[in-house]
Amino acid sequence: MKATIIDGKAVAASLRSQLKDQVAALKEQGVVPGLAVIIVGDDPASKVYVSNKEKACAEVGMYSEKYALPAQTTQEELLALVEKLNNKPNIHGILCQLPLPKHLDEKAVIEAISPKKDVDAFHAQNVGRIMIGDYKFLPCTPAGIMELIKATGIDITGKECVVVGRSNIVGKPMAMLLLHQNGTVTICHSRTKQLKEVCRRADILVVAIGKAKFITGDMIKNGAVVIDVGMNRDENGKFCGDVDFDSASEVAGYLTPVPGGVGPMTITMLLKNTLTAAAK
């Protein structure tokens, strides 16, 4: 195996120990950072994410509240809860776990969260700020990826960066962050022609397309930094990413594993955003 594995757990642990100190310093000024997490319904994956978020808050000394609502919760009830949390002084960050049950309007819920407490950075106002480079919060996954790239010691300036996937949560903001660091950025998606050739140009390749083992070693430039955002299950039911780890590790210079790569960083960045909101 040739690629150096980027250990997301280790990078996250080091950032969390810094956050713990910063939370302690803020507590001395009488402010305890508080995060409210809303979960609607019984989606098993969402439940796991929410319990991980609670544990992470406790680990760095933050206060957290969980609102587990039944699947039949109405739009009015959910918006009323968001409004209550917007006005709650000991809550600095509000996160509504997605996806929501089909009858609820995700967009309306995201827009109802105060931009000052929108620690997911999904509100249109925060998205716009990221676009112009004047932001307080960054979406947790792209922000975590930037930290992982930083951990390799590679400077993004002037590098060919290719982002595979154009979601509002990862692909689009990821491209903006790489651009702000002077990368030359290409965004690819399901309709991109000659995807293999485009990927092979990348010095830094970020893959968030949601298809198991979609990117193979022959699509990767020799020595590239490859960040795998995917979380899928393979034909044997084992966790795997959007990148075929075995063939990619023969070619890439740096590679994130799944699990243990991008995942641990996402929650760490959520804590960082909550701390930022509390410090404000």
Determine which one of 97, 221, 228, 244 is catalytic: 97
Determine which one of 22, 117, 118, 120 is catalytic: 120
Assign 176 to helix, strand or coil.
helix
Is 242 an active-site residue?
no
CA 10 to chain CA mean position, Å:
17
Burial class of residue 197 (count of CB atoms within 10 Å of its CB; 0-12, 13-18, 19+)? exposed
Confidence class of residue 260 from pLDDT cuts 50, 70 and 90?
Answer: very high
Confidence class of residue 73 from pLDDT cuts 50, 70 and 90?
Answer: very high
Whether 1 shows a pLDDT value over 80: the answer reads: no
167 among annotated binding-site residues: yes
Confidence class of residue 210 from pLDDT cuts 50, 70 and 90?
Answer: very high
Q: What is the pLDDT of residue 265?
A: 96
Q: What is the pLDDT of residue 190?
A: 87
Q: Is the dihedral of CA 243, 249, 253, 257 positive or negative?
A: positive
For residue 95, give the DSSP letter.
E
Q: What is the pLDDT of residue 165?
A: 98
- Please state whether beta strands 63-69 and 204-207 pair in parallel, antiparallel, or not at all (unpaired): unpaired
Is 120 an active-site residue?
yes
Burial class of residue 265 (count of CB atoms within 10 Å of its CB; 0-12, 13-18, 19+)? buried
Confidence class of residue 10 from pLDDT cuts 50, 70 and 90?
Answer: very high
166 among annotated binding-site residues: yes
Q: What is the pLDDT of residue 45?
A: 85
Percent of the chain residues past pLDDT 90, beyond the cut: 95
Contact 116, 88 (CB under 8 A): no
Is 97 an active-site residue?
yes
Average pLDDT for 97-106: 96
Q: Average pLDDT of the chain?
A: 96
Average pLDDT for 114-121: 97
pTM: 0.94
114 among annotated binding-site residues: no
Which of 50-54, 73-77, 158-162, 196-200 bottoms out in mean pLDDT, i.e. has the lowest? 50-54
Average pLDDT for 41-56: 91
Confidence class of residue 56 from pLDDT cuts 50, 70 and 90?
Answer: very high
33: region left, alpha or beta (phi > 0 left; psi from -120 to 50 alpha): beta
Q: How many residues does the chain have?
A: 280
The strand pairing partners of 93, in sequence order, are 35
Q: What is the pLDDT of residue 251?
A: 98
Q: What is the pLDDT of residue 196?
A: 97
Tens of pLDDT, residue by residue over 20-40, are: 999 999 999 999 999 999 999
Determine which one of 22, 53, 118, 172 is catalytic: 53
Count Cβ atoms below 10 Å from residue 55 Cβ, excluding itself. 11
Dump strand ranges (E) for the chain: 4-5, 34-40, 63-69, 93-96, 160-164, 184-188, 204-207, 225-228, 232-233, 239-240, 254-255
Q: Which two tokens stand for residue 161?
A: 């960066």
Whether 118 shows a pLDDT value over 80: the answer reads: yes
Whether 200 shows a pLDDT value over 90: the answer reads: yes
Give the Cα separation of 49 and 45 in Å (integer): 6
Q: Which two tokens stand for residue 48?
A: 């796991």
Q: Which residues of 83-92 are buried (b: 16+ CB within 10 A; e: fewer)?
A: eebeeeeebb
Average pLDDT for 192-217: 97
Whole-angstrom Cα Rg for the chain: 19
CA 79 to chain CA mean position, Å:
24
Count Cβ atoms below 10 Å from residue 158 Cβ, excluding itself. 9
The domains of the chain, with CATH numbers, are 30-114 (3.40.50.10860), 139-263 (3.40.50.720)
Q: Which two tokens stand for residue 79?
A: 């918006």
